[in-house]
Amino acid sequence: MTRRERQEQIDKGFLLPLMEEFYTIQGEGYHKGTAAYFVRIGGCDVGCHWCDVKESWLAELHPPTETGKIVENAVKYSNTIVVTGGEPLMWDMNPLTTQLKAKGVQTHIETSGAYKLTGEWDWICLSPKKNKLPTEEVSSKANELKCIIYNKDDFRFAEEQAEKVGNDCILYLQPEWSKRDKMIPQIVDYVMANPKWKVSLQTHKYLNIP
């Protein structure tokens, strides 16, 4: 395959820069505690300074992998497949989710929402970032809004984003891991004063699993 042909396959979503894939327990948000197979796609230009997977940012570091192979491997482990990144919506997710749905599995995505929504999803976890705001479409279709709290201004940002999601979207505030000791008490107080919000913790880190 020539470089041009490979790029065409990437642009169409038939090849994706696969960073890693692993079977574990979902640690965050609504589905925490659920066994799921994670597919981490490389490439992200949102650039959160506190990102804990900065090695995912450069797509060219991760091998273009056939979506069919990703699907074939994923469905061996779980009927819940979580696509994360990086920022997976930088790529066309239609081929991946079409093949996953053909296998009868549940498709979940974790996204900043900064790019056009592609793919067929049973669950959309939107984690918006100030650097690059989510599109109106992703906000309106999100099942779960997970706002990361690094400092006090993030509460204001979370409320702004909550105005953009649907009425049935579940709202979470999650402390940024390195600031958890400082921010958890503030989050607890905030949720008690504003009970439309729920607390999300990165329980997989407490369990010492991926």
**Residue numbers belonging to the annotated binding site:** 25-27, 40, 44, 48, 50-52, 84, 86, 127-129, 210
Q: Is the dihedral of CA 187, 148, 175, 108 positive or negative?
A: positive
List residues forming the annotated binding site for S-adenosyl-L-methionine.
Answer: 50-52, 86, 127-129
Residue ranges for the known binding site for substrate are: 25-27, 40, 84, 210
The CA distance from 207 to 127, in Å, is: 22
Which residues does the annotation place in the binding site for [4Fe-4S] cluster? 44, 48, 51
Residue 16: closest CA among 96, 72, 82, 80:
96
Measured distance CA(109)–CA(88) in Å, rounded: 8
Place of tokens 């204001």: 156
Q: For the purposes of burial, counting CB atoms within 10 Å of the CB of 11, is it exposed (0-12), middle (13-18) or buried (19 or more)? A: exposed
Q: How far is CA 149 from CA 5, 13, 89, in A?
A: 42, 33, 23
